[in-house]
Structure 1
Amino acid sequence: MYKILLVDDEKEIRYGLKNYFPWGQLGFEVVHHCENGELALDYLKKHDVNVVLTDIRMPVVDGLQLAKQLDTKYAHIHTIILSGYKDFQYAKEAIKYGVKDYIIKPGKYEEMHEVFSQLKKELDTSSFSNKGDNSYTDNIIQTIKNYAEENYADISLDDLAELCKMSPNYISTFFKEKTGTNFSTYITDLRMRKAMEMLDDFHYKTYEISSLVGYNNPKNFTRMFKKYYGMTPRDYRKQEITHKEP
């Protein structure tokens, strides 16, 4: 089932759409509904969906503002506008923000059915073409790991959020959910592994390695290295020298 987030400030509309349209028959499920774009964005910080179906005129954060945020931060989510306003300007603005379709309220059954049947085909095609090692989830995780491999000394969730078009909070949740490891733990593991590799290369001084793996304070680096390997960086290097002596 593809997940839908429904956003509309009218409770009756939300209730009616959630309960009286045969989403399941088309392969969709309304997993959450809320009354404005701000609440929708809060939900998306911790949950992923495939589709956002949103009204335009809402308090706090309206549908167009929401569509703009989705286009910037959650480009993988398909956005569909549902609105009682027929003004073409809204449709034009919506298209600019990557909105997939524009349905006029009250949303006739035939039109809703056609729009979501077509969207289901697109999602199926995208999912099928991305099965296996190019699946969406694997792509995101691999992108994060590749970026971390190159930037482990100076990396933040904000960097990854920009890279993956997700919010910083959701990146952290997504990574933990898909890998079973906190992102901070993953980066520390990576830094310690890189530090050990550098210690094997006697061209580097230990204080240089501290900086190269992201620790400006050598004492913090030494403390973390000892926590991981049971010895200080200097002791590890002495051990390596001993092992290499004839």
Structure 2
Amino acid sequence: MYKLLVADDETKIRNGICNYFPWTELGFEIVSEAKNGKQALDFILKHEVDVVLSDIKMPVMSGVELAEELYNRKSKTKVVFLTGYKEFDYAQKALIYGVKSYIIKPTKYEELLEVFSKIKAELDEERQKEAAAPAIVETQAEETADESAEGEGQNYHEKKIAAIKSHVMEHYKDVTLEEVARGFHMNLFYLSKYFKKWSGQNFSDYLISVKMEKAAELLKDFTYKTYEVGNLVGYDNAKNFSRAFKLYFGKSPREYRDSPH
């Protein structure tokens, strides 16, 4: 969840934005509300805030002054303005302070959705880049370590892959690439690359094959309903299970169960 602060001196507008828009579904949580730019700035300086949605005209410190202050402090907090039509030119001028966008009052659901969907995509990309930088160094180190193990022969890698596959076979319901990476003390990105190199298969494809083959086996036991089989192999949603099964076997779980094998 990305952290959002809403700043507006009009309580009715502020409450409406905070309480009647599905922020959590979009990936944001409201961490604070402010009546003016000064309150917003004080909070941002003490807490992590990814985005501030701010009215332009507020007492004590305006939205533009808040944006300027954050810009001068080189803050990573992104700013989105709430503005009336009469303040439109004013809002455009404030873009020099790195303001991401502006939303015209009265706020519309579609406009909020469009603006914050774009901002979330941008935040996701930034987070991925930050995570990738140290991961590249870790990956290079692990590649060097495994290259030094080449002297032990291909058998070394075959055993390692066999151990990973055995773990997946045992924990197929809840296993993830992240969990395997932790269990085998490997970097997430490197594990994905390593598994593909030495097994000839993407980890995700292998996991799906294990789940589907196990599901097919369970479907032979008529004491299980099809949705229960889906649950047993890690699918909480029956439609998602049916879709994945049909993609793998060419027939739905029900069709598979009714047909001779």
TM band (smaller chain): 0.5 to 0.7
Are residue 102 (structure 1) and residue 135 (structure 2) matched? no
**Paired-residue identity, %:** 51
Q: Distance in 2 between matches of 1:85 and 1:31?
A: 28
For residues 91-132 of structure 1, give each alpha carbon's deviation from its aligned partner in whole angstroms, at most 9, with x where no partner exists: 222211110001001111001000001111110011011105
Q: Which amino acid aligns with 2:130?
A: N
Q: Which amino acid aligns with 1:44?
A: I
Normalising by structure 2, we get a TM-score of 0.49
2:46 alignment counterpart: 46
Are residue 14 (structure 1) and residue 14 (structure 2) matched? yes
Q: Secondary structure at the match of 1:45?
A: helix
2:145 alignment counterpart: none
Q: Secondary structure at the match of 1:81?
A: strand
RMSD after superposition: 1.6
Assess, with a 3 A threshold, how the Cα gap between structure 1 residues 134 and 104 changes in structure 2: closer, same or farther.
farther
1:89 alignment counterpart: 89
Unmatched tracts of structure 1, length 5 or more: 136-246
Aligned partners of 2:91 and 2:102 also within 8 Å: yes
Aligned partners of 1:8 and 1:58 also within 8 Å: yes
Q: Distance in 1 between matches of 2:118 and 2:110?
A: 12
Aligned ranges 1:1-246 → 2 under 5 Å: 1-131=1-131
Aligned partners of 1:37 and 1:66 also within 8 Å: yes
Normalising by structure 1, we get a TM-score of 0.52
Q: Secondary structure at the match of 1:80?
A: strand
Give the C-alpha shift of residue 6 in structure 1.
0.6
Give the C-alpha shift of residue 133 in structure 1.
5.2
Q: Distance in 1 between matches of 2:95 and 2:69?
A: 13
Q: Distance in 2 between matches of 1:23 and 1:79?
A: 16
Q: Secondary structure at the match of 1:3?
A: strand
Q: Secondary structure at the match of 1:131?
A: helix
For residues 66-92 of structure 1, give each alpha carbon's deviation from its aligned partner in whole angstroms, at most 9, with x where no partner exists: 010111114311100012244442122
Q: How many residues align?
A: 135
Aligned partners of 1:64 and 1:93 also within 8 Å: no
Which aligned segments of 4 or more residues in structure 1 are displaced greater than 6 angstroms?
Answer: none
Q: Distance in 2 between matches of 1:134 and 1:63?
A: 36
For residues 16-35 of structure 1, give each alpha carbon's deviation from its aligned partner in whole angstroms, at most 9, with x where no partner exists: 11110000010001110010
Q: Distance in 2 between matches of 1:105 and 1:17?
A: 11
Q: Which amino acid aligns with 2:110?
A: E
